[in-house]
Structure 1
Amino acid sequence: MKRSILALQLATLLCMLAVSTVFSQHTRIKNVVLVHGAFLDGSGWEGVFHQLVAKGYNVTITQHTLRSLEEDTAAVNRVLDQQDGPVILVGHSYGGVIITASGNHPKVAGLVYIAAHAPDANEHRADLVKTYPSAYTSLIKGKDGFDYLDPAHFPADFAADLPREKALFMAHAQMPTADKCFQGIVQQPAWRVKPSWYMVAEADRIIHPGLERFYAKRAQSKKVVEIKGGSHAIYASRPKEVAALIEDAAKGAL
């Protein structure tokens, strides 16, 4: 008799766990698209990728050219077209500008900004930087209109909370970025019509942390997470925290 009761209880527990798993899968958005920022490609998202894939998310990392906002937005839109359902769109740094434009895609359900710009309509980021000046001094402007960060200063300015060996590798694997990217204007900011989440890097030298807080407050982000000691490279240095915020968005954007 006792064995029968225990067997019934075990069967009930297993059934409840199965139902719980199915329920959780249907109460979150499973598709995540990660958009990199200026100077680097999408490889910095590797840690976040592994965190999310291990929990059953379908993750796509974009590789755009950094030649202009229009070209980068078109590249991200092509990736969004390929998704099989609603998407959480995540942007780091200049990638925030891209998702602010591409976020209007009908498949995008929510936006996650990781130490990223979130401009308003027809807003010049240079005007905001006057109020919230950046701390870095490593920008080198190329004569051909493509810019990069001085590798000697890259670790301190961009990735101070990464192991120095990794920061140096990133410094020497830069993608020169066109001035046109920084001059691009968004016409219809997606954060005005879709929910957003924001992560502030408290020790950011590329985008002033005060500007990041301003963006988050203006967008009325549903959740704002501040990373103490976080450099501009938090998307690479703090993958667990970044993935956790993306998961919050995946569950909260339905």
Structure 2
Amino acid sequence: MSFPSLRSAVAHAAAALCLVAGAVTTAQAAPVKNVVLVHGAFVGGAGWRPVYDILTRDGYKVTLVQEPLTSFKDDVTATKRVLDSLDGPCVLVGHSYGGAIITEAGNDEHVKSLVYIAAHALDAGETEVSNGKLYPNATPHQDVVKTADDYLYLNPADYPRDFAADMPIAQAEFEAHAQMPTAAAVFTSQIPDPAWRVKPTFYMVAKADKIINPDLERMYAKRAHAHTVEIAGASHSVYETHPQEVAALIEQAAQGAGQ
């Protein structure tokens, strides 16, 4: 091959490599369009409706997990069932106990980033109970009622004050009487391989949370090297009472999750 021909071949090869590299970069930079929302203890998925409405309006495909709250294994299985149904990568979002669920289920290959909304981001060897002892919350223990078959729920009379202080009282009282009792055992479940150690993480601290101590939330966010926002005056129901801020954080995770 003559020198001009060789130079032309090299030039064409270099151009082809640039096109391939550009395509890969574009694919990596493409925002994730699937969002999976996981609720916490004592509540159902309906509380995500305000966030769902914002995200779907903005073009995201949003799926809610309705975990049974019968065991940690069952709840993770319910979440993985949804993840298996997706047609592409997703942002996985958890509120409260839902954070423990996404910390385990987030190891799924569909999950590109994690978003914790006033949620537990447990490390190996930790439980919600053990961390709660290190960072006590503001909810009196007598507010938690235990059933004969070892399920827990919050005393409806105390629910508005402790779980949803920034929610309209009529809505808080309705949710207090629509609680999903949660198996007590889920709060002592351990996670051997936390997903936040290897995946991009975002965290929202509810500064007036009486269920999870805000300082515990800050600890979770700091050690996960999470992009963190704090919402002043927000109760544990921040995902319902501040849907604009929650949706904005999720969208931020989606925009950066593919990079």
The one-letter code matched in structure 1 to 2:66 is Q
Distance 1:52 1:118 in 2: 23
Aligned residue for 1:186, secondary structure, equals coil
Deviation at 1:187, TM superposition (A): 1.1
Deviation at 1:126, TM superposition (A): 2.0
Matched, 1:99 2:114: no
User: Per-residue displacement from partner, 1:207-248 (whole Å, max 9, x unpaired)?
Assistant: 000000000001110x10100000000011110000000000
Q: Which residue of 2 aligns with 1:184?
A: 189
User: Per-residue displacement from partner, 1:130-184 (whole Å, max 9, x unpaired)?
Assistant: 2210111211112210000000010000001111111011000001000111111
Distance 1:164 1:179 in 2: 27
Q: Which residue of 2 aligns with 1:250?
A: 254
Deviation at 1:27, TM superposition (A): 2.5
Provide the TM-score with structure 1 as the length reference: 0.89
The one-letter code matched in structure 2 to 1:66 is L
The one-letter code matched in structure 2 to 1:167 is A
The structure whose Rg is larger is 2
The one-letter code matched in structure 2 to 1:83 is L
Distance 1:141 1:231 in 2: 23
Distance 1:56 1:110 in 2: 18
Q: Which residue of 1 aligns with 2:33?
A: 30
Q: Which residue of 2 aligns with 1:163?
A: 168
The one-letter code matched in structure 2 to 1:230 is A
Q: Which residue of 2 aligns with 1:135?
A: 138
Aligned residue for 2:209, secondary structure, equals coil
Runs of 5+ in structure 1 lacking a partner?
1-22
Q: Which residue of 2 aligns with 1:230?
A: 234
The one-letter code matched in structure 2 to 1:212 is E
Report how many aligned residue pairs link the two structures: 230
Distance 1:78 1:188 in 2: 19
Provide the TM-score with structure 2 as the length reference: 0.87
RMSD: 1.2
Query: Of the candidates 45, 50, 58, which is equivalent to residue 47 of structure 1?
Result: 50
Matched, 1:202 2:211: no
Q: Which residue of 2 aligns with 1:67?
A: 70
Distance 2:121 2:165 in 1: 23
Distance 1:67 1:134 in 2: 24
Q: Which runs of 4+ in 1 moved over 6 A?
A: none
Distance 1:238 1:146 in 2: 29
Distance 2:106 2:245 in 1: 22
Deviation at 1:122, TM superposition (A): 2.2
The one-letter code matched in structure 1 to 2:45 is G
Identity of aligned residues (%): 55
Matched, 1:145 2:150: yes
Runs of 5+ in structure 2 lacking a partner?
1-25
Q: Which residue of 2 aligns with 1:154?
A: 159
Q: Which residue of 2 aligns with 1:12?
A: none
The one-letter code matched in structure 2 to 1:176 is P
Deviation at 1:96, TM superposition (A): 0.1
Aligned residue for 2:118, secondary structure, equals strand
